[in-house]
Structure 1
Amino acid sequence: MSGLSLVLLTVLMVASGQMTQTLYVPAMTDMADALLVAKDSLPLLMACYLIPYGLFQFIYGPLSDRLGRRPVLLVGLSIYVLGSGLIVLWPSYPMLLVGSFIQGAGTAAAGSLCRSLMRDKFEGTALVRYNGYVSMGIMLAPLLAPLLGGYLNQHFGWQSMYLFLLLLGLSCTVIIFYCFKETLPVERRHQQSILPAYLHVLHSHAFCRQLGMLMAAFAGVILYEAEFAVVASQHATLTSRELSVLFILPLPLYFAGAMLAAITAGRWSVARLQWVATISLLLGAGVILVSAFEAELSLVGLVLGGGLYFAGAGLLFPVATSAAVEPFARHSGSAGALLGGCSNLGGGVFLLVQGGLPQMNQSVLGGLLLAFAGLTLWLLLPAHHALPEPGL
């Protein structure tokens, strides 16, 4: 299987999970009204999705190191189809929570193995480059999802969004079944049990620093995605279509950050790329926070700051992921599961905790994003990296 084919299939299998995470964001107000629940309760859907999405990656990753990637992917996609089908058949708020949990448990397979598949095929600067391509491709799904979700909700009702996800999941399962070729040969598999495999990976202090940076940056991205509609609606009365347009404006800058990682791999060092990413995170959080105190600029600052934050995250994710998994050719499934599992589980738990705090507003959002960016900076300061340091 060529590198480009593997990238395309990886993006495809992750797309359903990425779209599930953001498709309904522009329709949150209409969904709350239809389901007779408070608008502030809708971010709980993302938490119910992210927590199993994180937890089950800890299972899928080591299993794929022992059994191969293909069977694990097919099982996970089938579980996702089940969760989507339950929501379509019984469209109620409790079933939304249950179905979101099952969806997250299923797409965790693709979320975990998208990192391992690249490590199966590439190493060194090529790994950074192809992880950048994957990040760029994966970003197309959440970029298109809010626009599609706003359109489907406005013309066909919120249930149509989950019918679309069901059909997307079925299509991905069929395509992966017929087109995906195993990337982990039998001779590179190991029979080590789950706990020793994880301890082997976590023994690396460099891995733990990269993991911490990914978790901090990802928590900020998830918080922004979950609370954007709530915060934006405090500044103006917006339709679901208008919210969807504003929501996606920062996302192309994530694409630009991932593209920068891909085109500069081998010419810029890991340290330089991560410093640029961290500065962008800090600037984005600062813009959101400062603009919160100027009413006329608050909505502009929310979108502009989100764009800067997303640009930093788009650059950081492929670079830190590559630096973390590079040393673990035989344990890349376990390493990828730790990266994806901890990031998504941490983001989901944070959303649950944050949901119990006083009502979210832009100043609180900016302050929390600044704290996450500051944590990324603190973890970057030791400056030890798993990849060789080419270039400058």
Structure 2
Amino acid sequence: MSGLSLVLLTVLMVATGQMTQTLYVPAMGDMAEALQVSGQALPLVMGFYLVPYGLFQFIYGPLSDRHGRRPVLLAGLAIYVLGSVLILLVPVYSMLLLGSFVQGAGTAAAGSLCRSLMRDRFEGAELVRYNGYVSMGIMLAPLLAPLAGGWLNQHYGWQSMYGFLLGLGLVILLVMVVWFRETLPVERRHVQPMLPAYQHVLHHGGFRRQLGMLIATFAGLILYEAVFSVLAARHQLTSTQISLLFILPLPLYFGGAMLASCKASSWSVRRMQAWASLGLVSGALLVLAGSFSGQWALAGLVAGGGLYFAGAGLLFPVATSAAVSPFPQHSGTAGALLGGCANLGGGLFLLGQGALPQMNQPVLGGLLLACAGLVVWFLLPADEALPEPGV
């Protein structure tokens, strides 16, 4: 496979997980009414999806280092299809949670391998560039998902969204069976037990810092996605209007990832991450400031989210590349740690915020600022996992 073909297939295999995460966001209010639960209960669906999405990556990554990427990916996609079937067969809230858990357990394979496949083929500045391409492509699914979800819910009800996900999962599984080729040759695989493999990767100080930045950034990102619909609905907006506002920050994530690809060979890792941190902090402050002015609250929520997304788009491909670069034979394990910890942390963060007395814009802005502050703190040490390619 050419580099471009590998990028396209990587984006496609992650599309199911990305769409599952955001497809139902504009329909949360209608889903809560149909399922006879409170609006506060719907963000838990994302938590039940993200926790297994994170946990199972710890299994898929080392397995793919030992047995290859292809069989692990196909097994995961098949599990995802099963989760979608469960939700459609028994459309009640408890089964929605269980089915989301199974879906997350399945798409964890793609979430883990999307970081490993690029390392199988590229290194150095080229690795940053191609990870940037993947990040840009992955953003297409969240851009389309809320629009598709809002339309499907409005015309056919909330169950139609999961029928769509089932069909999408089956199509992508078929595409991978026919076109995806193994990227990890037999001679590069290793049989090291799982625990020593994780110890080997975690021993690297640069990896731990990149991991910390990814976890903190993703926690803020996923919190914003989970509560945006609830906060925007307080401004008397329809599900279609909410879906349009929800996707406005996403092109800025695309722009951040594009900047990472364009500057991979001329900017240092540290310089790119410094600019990413500035975007995260500025976005959090704007969300927080908007909450203190009623007429500008919604504008601050959307614009602040855009800046935060831009910072995340720049940070993700750079931090991912810097983290996996030192591990050519353990890239599956390293990728599993990155994806697993980030998504597990994000899921637990969502479950934790469900215990808060209330979720409003000041609370959201404060939590985003705390996440951005952690990124800055992890950036302070000077040593990097990747060599400095430019100025």
Question: TM-score of the superposition, structure 1-length normalised?
Answer: 0.99
Deviation at 1:85, TM superposition (A): 0.8
Deviation at 1:384, TM superposition (A): 1.4
Match of 2:271 in 1: 272
Task: Write the distance in 1 (CA, Å) between the matches of 2:229 and 2:192.
Answer: 45
Unaligned regions of 5+ residues in structure 2, if any? none
Match of 1:80 in 2: 80
**Corresponding letter in the other structure for 2:62:** P
Unaligned regions of 5+ residues in structure 1, if any? none
Task: Write the distance in 2 (CA, Å) between the matches of 1:87 and 1:231.
Answer: 26
Match of 1:49 in 2: 49
Match of 1:187 in 2: 187
Deviation at 1:221, TM superposition (A): 0.3
Task: Write the distance in 2 (CA, Å) between the matches of 1:300 and 1:157.
Answer: 29
Match of 2:238 in 1: 239
Match of 2:307 in 1: 308
Deviation at 1:233, TM superposition (A): 1.8
- 2:355 is the counterpart of 1:347: no
- 2:113 is the counterpart of 1:109: no
Match of 2:69 in 1: 69
- 2:142 is the counterpart of 1:128: no
**Corresponding letter in the other structure for 1:233:** A
Match of 2:230 in 1: 230
SS for the counterpart of 1:389 is coil
Task: Write the distance in 2 (CA, Å) between the matches of 1:174 and 1:281.
Answer: 38
Matches within 5 A, 1:138-217: 138-217=138-217
How many residues in Structure 1 have an aligned counterpart in Structure 2?
391
Identical aligned residues as a percent: 73
- 2:9 is the counterpart of 1:15: no
Task: Write the distance in 1 (CA, Å) between the matches of 2:135 and 2:192.
Answer: 30
**Corresponding letter in the other structure for 1:24:** Y
Match of 1:381 in 2: 380
Runs of 4+ in 1 over 2 A off after TM superposition: none
Deviations 1:296-345 (A, max 9, x none): 10000000000000000000000000000000000000000000000000
**Corresponding letter in the other structure for 2:301:** L
Match of 2:317 in 1: 318
Task: Write the distance in 1 (CA, Å) between the matches of 2:133 and 2:125.
Answer: 13
Match of 1:58 in 2: 58
Deviation at 1:359, TM superposition (A): 1.2
**Corresponding letter in the other structure for 2:207:** F
Task: Write the distance in 1 (CA, Å) between the matches of 2:128 and 2:274.
Answer: 16
**Corresponding letter in the other structure for 1:350:** F
Task: Write the distance in 1 (CA, Å) between the matches of 2:312 and 2:383.
Answer: 20
Match of 1:360 in 2: 359
Task: Write the distance in 1 (CA, Å) between the matches of 2:54 and 2:179.
Answer: 26
Deviation at 1:390, TM superposition (A): 1.6
Deviations 1:338-392 (A, max 9, x none): 0000000000011111100111000000000000000000000112111110211
Task: Write the distance in 2 (CA, Å) between the matches of 1:59 and 1:141.
Answer: 25
Match of 1:259 in 2: 258
SS for the counterpart of 1:85 is helix
Task: Write the distance in 1 (CA, Å) between the matches of 2:171 and 2:383.
Answer: 42
Deviations 1:227-270 (A, max 9, x none): 00111122x11111010001000000000000000111111110
Match of 2:326 in 1: 327
**Corresponding letter in the other structure for 2:55:** L
Deviations 1:48-94 (A, max 9, x none): 00000000000000000000000000000000000001111111111
Task: Write the distance in 2 (CA, Å) between the matches of 1:155 and 1:383.
Answer: 54
Task: Write the distance in 2 (CA, Å) between the matches of 1:390 and 1:101.
Answer: 41
Task: Write the distance in 2 (CA, Å) between the matches of 1:168 and 1:120.
Answer: 27
Task: Write the distance in 2 (CA, Å) between the matches of 1:352 and 1:14.
Answer: 23
Deviations 1:151-202 (A, max 9, x none): 0000111000000000000001000001000000000000001000000000
Q: Which moved more, 1:85-94 or 1:190-199?
A: 85-94
Match of 1:4 in 2: 4
Task: Write the distance in 2 (CA, Å) between the matches of 1:80 and 1:233.
Answer: 30
**Corresponding letter in the other structure for 1:125:** A
SS for the counterpart of 2:139 is helix
Task: Write the distance in 2 (CA, Å) between the matches of 1:193 and 1:143.
Answer: 40
